[in-house]
Amino acid sequence: MDVIKRNNVKLFGRGEQTIMFGHGFGCDQNMWRFVTPAFQQQYKILLFDHVGSGDSDTAAYDKNKYNSLRGYAADVVEICAALDLEEVIFVGHSVGSMIGVLGALQEPELFKKLILIGPSPCYINDADYFGGFERADVLSMLDYMENDYFSWASSFAPLIMGNPDNPSLGEELIQSFCNTDTEITKHFAKVAFLSDNRPDLLKLETESLIMQCSKDIIAPTEVGNYMHKAIKKSTFVELKATGHCPNLSSPLEIIEVMENYLHA
């Protein structure tokens, strides 16, 4: 299988070290377009689409493989192996963050640092853990998606994006959700929103930066604090940005925090 074609891999930039950007649910590599220009003079930039998103090869979709986030993490590792990369800096957004964490656990020698934007290891509240959602609410949302995906996208995307003073951002996320393969995306949603990767955080040895937005209904502040405590070598930054997609709503802040972390 041509891994590069499967995940629509794009590689550019003038540097030696690679920054690999992994997008979140319902999105594609285009979501990084405001961030990557700041790094392409000093780094090699690697963009890709998860199978079922963007211009990936949907024929490569295997429901059994992608019945866990580990299937997506295996793709990340395979892309790095196909390009003979090492000491990769992986930047993940939302569920893409956890995919990066799992990739680093699979092949820790491949990754130098992880930069996690709005990550969550578990979206469902559990005893003294606050993930942001009750299980019944997640199941209801998944049922809504299954029965009327496009109505779900139109109603939920603006809530996920936040920043109601800039409705064009919510509109872009609606279009992104609607441009994916809907059957694959519905399955991806079940896998993502019902996953629990809290035990994996304790195993992670890779240096990690956690960026946390306020007013984020997908990854509330409690989740960012939990991850910071669970990951041994982690740095926590609370952003001024609001909502769940600061790579679109506040890219300059993302760039600044990344640069400060990478140059520290």
Q: Where in the sequence numbering do the catalytic residues fall?
A: 94, 216, 244
Position 30: which residue type? N
Token duo for residue 54: 């963007």
How far, rounded to the nearest angstrom, does the alpha carbon of residue 263 sit from its chain's CA centroid? 23
Q: What does the alpha-carbon distance between residue 160 and residue 218 come to, in Å, rounded to a whole number?
A: 7
Cβ partners under 8 Å of residue 91, min gap 6: 19, 20, 21, 22, 32, 100, 115, 117, 258
Instruction: Give CA angle at 169 (255, 136), nearest 5°.
Output: 100
Q: What does the alpha-carbon distance between residue 109 and residue 118 come to, in Å, rounded to a whole number?
A: 24
Q: What does the alpha-carbon distance between residue 65 and residue 200 come to, in Å, rounded to a whole number?
A: 19
Give the Å distances, CA to CA, from 168 to 32, 35, 77, 173, 249. Answer: 17, 18, 35, 9, 10
Q: Given CA atoms 191, 196, 202, 208 in this order, what sign does their dihedral have?
A: positive
Q: What does the alpha-carbon distance between residue 152 and residue 174 come to, in Å, rounded to a whole number?
A: 9
